Structure formats: C-alpha cells, structure tokens
Structure 1
Amino acid sequence: MKRNATAIWTGTIKEGSGTITTGSTTLNKTQYSFKSRFEEGVGTNPEELMAAAHAGCFTMKLSADLTEAGFTPRNLETKATVSLDNGVITSSHLVTTASIPDISENQFQEIAKGAKENCPVSKAYNLEITLEATLS
C-alpha cells in the first residue's frame, strides 16, 4: 500500500506560500506558509500534519491491541503535540483518554505503552515519544 501527497510552493520562504493536496483530496490545496509554521498564520504546517498522523495511528493501534486483548473500547481520544525546536522536530507527546469497560489500570497502561511503541507512525519517527494515558 502506498499513499501520496503533493506540496507546491511559490516564492521566497518568508513571503511565499504553498498548498498541500493529499491523494484522497481530504486536503485539497490546503494552504501553508512561513507564518502558519513559525508564527500564527492561517493554514497547516508539517508538524501539525505529523501530529495528526501520530494521533490517528496510535489511537487505531490502541483500539486494535485492546480488541485483541478482549476489551471493547467505548471511546478513545488522543491529542498529539509535535515540537519543533531550533529547526529540529524533537518530540511527539501523546495524551489519550479512554473509556473501556472491565479493564484494570495496569492492563490499560501496558496495552497503551505497547501501542505507543508499535504503531507504524511511532516506528517511523526518529524522535522522543512520550505518553500520558488516562482511563475515564
């Protein structure tokens, strides 16, 4: 399986701008710019897209691992925060809240840790990955 996205950039780094389109067109000429990446401009940026990929992948892996262990999650919600420090993407911090009947705290933490370590996006990222997992 292969997925794709296309980025187009016009102009200089600070005054220019670009668009990103994914193969599915979920993102379709979505704008990004210097301001959206390094300040507070309109549009997306690579770190936001990395965070979205990590949150989605981890949450699906957690669901799969819980299901395999015999649990049925009612709800899983994950926020990923990707940090860009001095021009280097340094970390991704996952915060997940889960509602899962009949699971112990220890079971949940063990399964969540495994999902963090083994989701395909975590394996692809060469950065520090941290996790806060809470049962609600």
Structure 2
Amino acid sequence: MTTNTGTARYEGLGKSGKGHVSTGSGVLDNQPYGFNTRFEDEPGTNPEELIAAAHASCFTMALSFALAEKGLSKGTLETTARVRLEKDGAGFTVTRSDLTLTGNVPGTDKEVFTDLANTAKASCPISRLLNAEITLETTFED
C-alpha cells in the first residue's frame, strides 16, 4: 500500500480568494490556484489540470509496464489528457478525460500497441477512479 499527500490552503473566500497547492514530495510547492487560474487566464494551476497530469502519467506508466511484460525494453510514449469540467446543476462535474497517445516502440506493431493501450486504460488506477467517460486515441510511429 502507498499513501501520498497533497495540501491546499485558500485565503479569502469565493472568487476573490487565492489558494496554494503543494505535494508531499515537494514537486509542487505552494503553486497558486484559485478562481482566476481555474476559469480565467491567470497563471497557476487548477484541480482539473492536476487530474489531467495524474491521468496521463498513470496511464503512460501502466502502458510502459504492459509493453515491458511483452519483453520490449525500448520506446517512447507520450500522452496528453484533456479533462473536461462541466456545469452540473448547482455544481460542477468532471465528465470525461480524453487521452491522446503517441508511441514509438520498436519490436511491436500497431495492433499489439493499441490492444495494450486499451488494457492500460482500463487498468490504470486513475482511470478507474474517474467516474467519467474516458476515450483513447493512439498513434503508432514506426
């Protein structure tokens, strides 16, 4: 079992409040977030961006391990996740995460690559955590 931490501090309330988010590892340290970073163009992060980064990294690592289990040891995988936040009644809901994957893995082919990517999508812990539609678009480079 692994437990990781994140902390958030918000000073002020509502739209005028300003927050800072940190991770237990220190990779993120007091990064700004708030209404303006979430819904406008102010520099900083937001929860959906952090979910997108978590989903992309989790999925890519799951696929990397699936490819390694097939005896492959070289290659490059790059994934972009686009997390959609939509108005839902009085609040908001993450409704989907769209993964776009580009891979160059010598020793495999597009069919095997796509099958393993779909398996990784289904087994990725962040994919399973999200109660959202998850799509996957793959590009296999020879």
TM-score past 0.5 threshold: yes
Q: Deviation of residue 85 (structure 1)?
A: 1.1
Assess, with a 3 A threshold, how the Cα gap between structure 1 residues 127 and 73 changes in structure 2: closer, same or farther: farther
Counting only pairs closer than 5 Å after superposition, residues 66-77 of structure 1 correspond to structure 2 as 66-77=67-78
Q: Does 1:127 align with 2:132?
A: yes
The letter of the residue matching 1:114 is T
Q: 1:99 — aligned with what?
A: 104
Contact 1:63/1:73 (8 A) holds in 2: no
Which residue matches 1:8? 9
Deviations 1:33-74 (A, max 9, x none): 101111111110000000000000000000000110122341
Partner secondary structure for residue 16 of structure 2: coil
SS at match of 2:13: coil
Q: 2-side partners of 1:110 and 1:50: how far apart?
A: 24
- TM-score normalised by the chain length of structure 1: 0.96
Q: Which residue of the partner structure matches residue 94 of structure 2?
A: 89
1:49 maps onto 2:50 in alignment: yes
Equivalent-residue separation in structure 2 for 1:17 and 1:3 (angstroms): 24
Residue 93 of structure 1: how far off its partner (Å): 0.5
Structure 2 counterpart SS, 1:14: helix
Q: Which residue of 1 aligns with 2:66?
A: 65
Number of residues paired by the alignment?
136
Call closer, same or farther: CA 1:113–1:73 in 2, change over 3 Å.
Answer: farther
Q: CA RMSD in A?
A: 0.9
The alignment-based identity, stated in percent, is 45
Show structure 1 runs of 5+ residues with no match: none
Aligned to 1:30: 31
The separation in 2 between residues aligned to 1:73 and 1:83, in whole angstroms, is 33
The answer for unaligned runs of 5 or more in structure 2 is none
Residue identity matched to 2:133:
E
Q: Which runs of 4+ in 1 moved over 3 A?
A: none
SS, match of residue 2 in structure 1: coil
Q: Which residue of 1 aligns with 2:115?
A: 110
Is 1:73–1:98's contact at 8 Å kept on the other side of the alignment? no
> Does the 8 Å contact 1:5/1:21 carry over to 2?
yes
Aligned partner of 1:21 in structure 2 is 22
Whole-angstrom CA distance in 1 between matches of 2:120 and 2:74: 14
Look up the equivalent residue of 1:125 and give its one-letter code: L
